[in-house]
Amino acid sequence: MLRIDRAIHDAIVGHAREDHPDEACGVVAGPDGSDRPERFIPMLNAARSPTFYEFDSGDLLRLYREMDARDEEPVVIYHSHTATEAYPSRTDIGLAQEPNAHYVLVSTREHGERTGLAGDEVEFRSFRIVDGEVSEEEVEVVASYLFGHSPTTVVYD
Amino acid sequence: MAIEVRIPTILRTHTGGNKTVEGSGATLAALVDDLDSKHPGLKNRLVTDEGKLHRFVNVYVNDEDVRFTGALDTEVKDGDSVTILPAVAGG
């Protein structure tokens, strides 16, 4: 199960809306072994594409250096699908290389700015992807997460 | 002195769980061969059957992505620091 703070959940959804129709991507880092997604880090999609995402190689190195220095790991790796459901594509499965991460998929295919509908929805789902096997997990969005575990940092872009 | 190599989580099954290992060689290709002799299977995860670096594995020598410095032909020396990171990518 993925337990994630409301503010971080909303930040991921906001990033996906903002970058639509391109895919948005990023990480939520947390202390090593804690399974707590605490530090929201939106990344640039170097592919700038509606069908592909990739972290820039220099950004990737800086990100991992920084997480290493802070004894963190990527607890959540998120990206958006802009025309299809929030489920890992074959490419996502083939390229998933963080067996400990929660892979969060967000779909903006029906979000308001695109459809103009009042009750717009952005799908938000979480998966484990290990050795090519996908398993969906429950997502629990909690309001008090930030206050229950201190100190913590949320970096808003 | 040797060359320090940082191993990503997904490849630590080959290094007994170690985050960093040491190796030697004059080029990245030679270093990878040396690492593979101590940690069997590692080379296969980094290099394709055609002898090229996998597209979705990033290797850096002292912060420089080797794609821009000659890939497997990149020269390395004692004291260098090599970092291996799987790409974060998808569709």
Per-domain residue ranges of chain B: 3-86
The number of folded domains in chain A is 1
| A75, A97, A106, best to mutate vs chain B, most B CBs in 10 Å | A97
pLDDT of residue B54: 96
Long-range Cβ pairs for the range A21-24 (8 Å, 24+): A21/A50, A21/A82, A21/A83, A21/A108, A21/A114, A22/A48, A22/A49, A22/A50, A22/A82, A23/A47, A23/A49, A23/A50, A23/A51, A23/A52, A23/A53, A23/A79, A23/A80, A23/A81, A23/A82, A24/A53, A24/A78, A24/A79, A24/A80, A24/A106
Whether A86 contacts A106, CB under 8 Å: yes
Whether A76 contacts A28, CB under 8 Å: yes
pLDDT of residue A110: 85
Residue A3: inside a domain: no
B51 or A112: which leads in pLDDT: B51
Give 10-residue mean pLDDT values along chain A (157 residues).
95 94 97 96 97 98 96 97 96 96 95 60 93 96 63 51
pLDDT of residue A151: 47
Residues in chain B with CB shorter than 8 Å from the CB of A78 are none
Put simply, whether A77 touches B (Cβ < 8 Å) is yes
Whether A25 contacts A78, CB under 8 Å: yes
Structural domain boundaries enclosing A125 = 26-137
What is the tens place of the pLDDT at every residue in B55-79? Answer: 999 999 999 999 999 999 999 999 9
Residue A150: inside a domain: no
Residue B90 has its nearest CB partner, among A43, A92, A100, at A92
Cβ contact, residue pair B67, A58, below 8 Å = no
The owner of tokens 């509908």 is A117
CA distance B64 to chain A (A): 8
Q: What is the ipTM of this complex?
A: 0.93
CATH number given to B3-86: 3.10.20.30
Cβ contact, residue pair B90, A53, below 8 Å = yes
Q: What is the mean pLDDT of chain B?
A: 96
How far apart are the C-alpha atoms of B87 and A103, rounded to whole Å?
14
How far apart are the C-alpha atoms of A70 and A56, rounded to whole Å?
21
Residue A92: inside a domain: yes
Q: What's the CATH number where A50 sits?
A: 3.40.140.10
Residue A62: inside a domain: yes
How far apart are the C-alpha atoms of B27 and B33, rounded to whole Å?
10
Neighbours of A114 (CB within 10 A): 15
CA quadruple A139, A141, A146, A148: dihedral sign: negative
